[in-house]
Amino acid sequence: MKRLKFGNKIIFLVNSLVAFLLLVSYLLPYVPPKSFSILSVLSLGVPLLIILNILFFMYWLFRVKKQLLLSLVVLLLGFNHINAMYKFSSSNNIEDKENFSVMSFNVRSFNRYQWIPNKTIKEDIITFIKTEQPDILCLQEYRTGDPINLEGYYNFNALPIDNTIKWGQAIFSKFPIVNSGSLEFPNTYNNGIFVDIVKQKDTIRVYTLHLQSSGIDTDVEKLKEEKSSDLFKQVGSTFRAQQSQVELFLEHKSKCTYKTIVTGDFNNTAYSYIYKTIKDDDLKDTFIEAGNGFGRTFDFKFFPLRIDFVLSHKGFTVNGFKSYNVKLSDHYPIKATLKLH
């Protein structure tokens, strides 16, 4: 620090804080929100912390200063975090006659309240689905009172237990559905559903989850008007609710003997306790296995957020993954291509 000019000393102090926060974030997947909800909020900012540390590393590198080691070491220690945000390798796309595809998409009630100034959103979503032809389609925020008709698909949908809510989740499948049901999350508008489908001689369990949302307006200008203390309290409360919902899901899943696929809008990132607990040791993140680029799934300004997932049992080979840059919701659809071993 002695050889640094005053301006660079200030920059290095900020660099040190950002590096420390990123280092702390590596512990977040192991910290239950019910135990330390304030700390768990940091998981939402991990993509920004990674980007800032990369920028600090580049800053010192161009100036040939040893201070570059701080961010470099922290980034290397958390390489898996970088891999969860951005895949440097190209997408896997392995053709196989046994492949089948699973798409997940939060359709935001088909734009019922005109969040997007386009009156044909529902029709555009239907056209998109018919063009892509996923074998299994999982939709969150699906309006059961305003359903869509997809020829060639079996389907199951369910509302949350609160019957004042008119949107829930839906699963469409080109394979026969032999069992289905709903996971009721108490005191919330959110829920999860599941179906058991038969593909040739195999039965597969497919879940789609829509975990608790913070209800915070993600418009950056509106976020600036919120008190940081209120934001932390609200998000912390949301993550505690998500933990309870995940515990209910895991209890349900533990009784299933079939190979499982878990999809949905987790309203949390791949750096969180929520994601790690759902993924556990028996599921694979299909984006990490076969995706490329940022894999952004939510329309948040300035840095990419990946809060929608397709997780597959280790008994599946992931032969492809695609993120779609289509503006039909505040979420972007994702599709995984799988094959049973």
Quick check: helix, strand or coil at residue 154?
strand
Domain-located, residue 118: yes
Separation CA 40–CA 331 (nearest Å): 23
Separation CA 136–CA 265 (nearest Å): 16
Domain-located, residue 94: no
Domain-located, residue 95: no
User: Is the pLDDT at 152 greater than 80, yes or no?
Assistant: yes
- Give the per-residue pLDDT at 186: 87
Same domain for 140 and 63, yes or no, is no
* Average pLDDT over all residues of the chain: 90
Same domain for 49 and 197, yes or no, is no
Give me the sheet containing 308-313, strands edge to edge. 177-184, 191-199, 202-210, 259-265, 308-313, 283-285
- Give the per-residue pLDDT at 233: 81
**3-state class percentages of the chain: helix first, strand second, coil last, to nearest 5:** 35, 25, 35
Per-residue pLDDT of 45-55, as tens digits, reads: 899 999 999 99
- Give the per-residue pLDDT at 27: 92
Output the pTM of the full model: 0.92
Same domain for 78 and 148, yes or no, is no
Say which amino acid occupies 262: V
User: Is the pLDDT at 226 greater than 70, yes or no?
Assistant: no
Q: Tell me the average pLDDT across 213-238.
A: 65
- Residue-wise burial string across 128-160, b where 16 or more C-beta atoms lie within 10 A, e elsewhere: ebeebebbbbbbbbbbeeeebebeebbbbbbbb
What sign does the CA torsion over 313, 44, 332, 296 have?
negative
Quick check: helix, strand or coil at residue 280?
coil
Domain count, the chain: 2
Per-residue pLDDT of 38-90, as tens digits, reads: 788 888 889 999 999 999 999 999 999 999 999 999 999 998 888 888 888 76
Same domain for 69 and 128, yes or no, is no
Separation CA 250–CA 244 (nearest Å): 10
Same domain for 36 and 119, yes or no, is no
Same domain for 209 and 327, yes or no, is yes
Same domain for 17 and 117, yes or no, is no
User: Is the pLDDT at 333 greater than 60, yes or no?
Assistant: yes
* pLDDT band, very low/low/confident/very high, at 230 (cuts 50, 70, 90): low
Domain-located, residue 32: yes
Same domain for 204 and 272, yes or no, is yes
User: Is the pLDDT at 2 greater than 60, yes or no?
Assistant: no
- Give the per-residue pLDDT at 93: 86
Domain-located, residue 241: yes
Same domain for 109 and 80, yes or no, is no
| DSSP track, 204-226 | EEEEEEEPPP------HHHHHHS
Same domain for 156 and 285, yes or no, is yes
Same domain for 236 and 308, yes or no, is yes
Element (H, E) at 278: helix 273-279
Q: Tell me the average pLDDT across 158-162.
A: 68
Same domain for 36 and 133, yes or no, is no
Element (H, E) at 37: helix 37-40
Range of the domain at 28: 6-85
Tokens standing for 320? 């492809």
